[in-house]
Amino acid sequence: MAEKKERYEVILAGSGGQGLVLSGIMLAEAAILEGKNAVQTVSYGTYVRGGFSMAGVIIDSEEIIFQEVENADVVLALTEETMEMYEPLAKEGATVVYDTTLIKERTGKGLFGHPFTDMANKMGNVGMVNIIALGYMAKKNGIVDTESLAEVIKRRFSGKTREANLKALEAGIALAV
């Protein structure tokens, strides 16, 4: 796992309904649990369902002045459309994580493809794709501690939903180890 930096700019992009806005909220909440500042912005295509959806998250131990992601440290893309839209925002040395179930495989420095959607399907709940990816990114880049994400899940959900989310988080973490 990478050493934690003072500031992270993260983009989580896919299509509406993949839960990326919620992922952004959970990532920001995890950072706040660690005493950091966090902002989350959202950008949508024309249609909420089926159109693209992007959550930008900035985490910083200092005040966050400009609220939008300008140079992403980490980009997650779950669709071909958003891969093309947001990969260029990744700065030098950034990590680009993408879903090989839905996006054609690429090779290059900093590119990490995994079949997140397939994994979620196999776990019996395609709705967990965002949580698997979140666990993977957190572990891989050290954006937040994975324990903080588990705590956010515990505070947000109960019962079966909580268990399913924790299981998905673990699956994502395991992928990065």
28 part of the interface to another protein, by CB under 8 A = yes
Give the number of other Cβ atoms within 10 Å of residue 162's Cβ. Answer: 15
66 part of the interface to another protein, by CB under 8 A = yes
Question: Residue 10 corresponds to which tokens in the numbers above?
Answer: 């993260």
**Is-contact 15 78, C-beta < 8 A?**
yes
Strand partners, 113: 98
For residue 108, give the nearest of 81, 83, 136 by alpha carbon. Answer: 83
Identify the residue among 37, 100, 101, 125 touching another protein (CB under 8 A): 37
Stretch that binds another protein, among 23-31, 89-97, 133-141, 169-177 (CB under 8 A): 23-31
67 part of the interface to another protein, by CB under 8 A = yes
70 part of the interface to another protein, by CB under 8 A = yes
CA distance 125 to 73: 29
Identify the residue among 15, 18, 23, 40 touching another protein (CB under 8 A): 40
Closest distance to another protein from the beta carbon of 115 (Å): 30
